[in-house]
Amino acid sequence: MTLLGEVVDERTTRMAVRKQMLQSAGGDGLYAALVSLPVDDRSEAVRESHRKLLNDVRTHRYRLDYPPHIARGCPIGSGMIASGMMHRPARRSWPNG
């Protein structure tokens, strides 16, 4: 049971570090950090997952330019913000009755 807790804690820590990096260095910084991770000695599944992650971050780097938006005080994507953005136009587009 302790081992599972340690794995969860390690993953949570890694995620927090990546989030901090994304917010401070943007998509380019995150991509550079991910490229530098050594995965050659890992399993095929891990290497494939890493390859897909790199592809996603590389494709969407321009959308991950968070530092300027954070500096202006803009909120950065949460479920509530994204959900509100999706539902608001739908409500306006439907006629009453």
Predicted confidence at residue 96, as pLDDT, reads 57
pLDDT tens track for 3-58: 666 667 888 888 888 888 888 899 899 999 999 999 999 999 999 999 999 999 99
Whether 97 shows a pLDDT value over 70: the answer reads: no
Whether 65 shows a pLDDT value over 90: the answer reads: no
Domains of the chain by residue range: 2-93
This prediction has a pTM of 0.63
What whole-number distance in Å separates Cα of residue 35 and Cα of residue 8?
23
Which H, E and C letters describe the chain, residue by residue? CHHHHHHHHHHHHHHHHHHHHHHHHHHHHHHHHHHCCCCCCCCHHHHHHHHHHHHHHHHCHHHHCHHHHHHCCCCCCCHHHHHHHHHHHHHHHCCCC
Predicted confidence at residue 75, as pLDDT, reads 76
